[in-house]
Amino acid sequence: GVVAVDRGTIVRHLSRGGGERGSVVLVPGGAAEAMHAHPGVFRLVLKRRRGFVRVALQTGCSLVPTLVFGENELVPTLYVADGGGTTRLRRALLRWQTLAKDRLGFVAPFALVPFPRRARLTPVTGPP
């Protein structure tokens, strides 16, 4: 299921009673990373996202790094990398998305097509 992504909720799910340990899947880049997802650009948002590492150390849980290459090629969005060549409409949409992220905590990037393109996805999973 889906749960809140606050420290207390994550610790509670990872520290279940009875010796049983739970697991969670986190997307540390979250909404900020989604706002920069578009074909030809691969940008991770991790610099200030270290709380999940501290929680894993605190609860004794393993981190399993996983990354899927090619996701950004699936859906063309209205955003341009680093603002270069950005139109007035694109800037307005980015401002609206930033406001939505700040107020709601999530965003859904504006896509140019209703369905994803075919693209090769390469999932990579590291050791725990």
How does DSSP assign 19-55, residue by residue?
T--------TTHHHHHTT-BTTB-----TT--HHHHH
Tokens of 75: 């859906």
Q: What is the tens place of the pLDDT at every residue in 68-91? A: 998 888 877 766 555 555 577 777
pTM above 0.85, yes or no: no
First to last CA, the chain: 23
Q: Using CA atoms, how far apart are residues 102 and 7, in angstroms rounded to an integer?
A: 18
- From 74, 2, 4, select the one nearest 40 (Cα to Cα): 74
Q: What is the tens place of the pLDDT at every residue in 26-40? A: 888 876 777 677 778
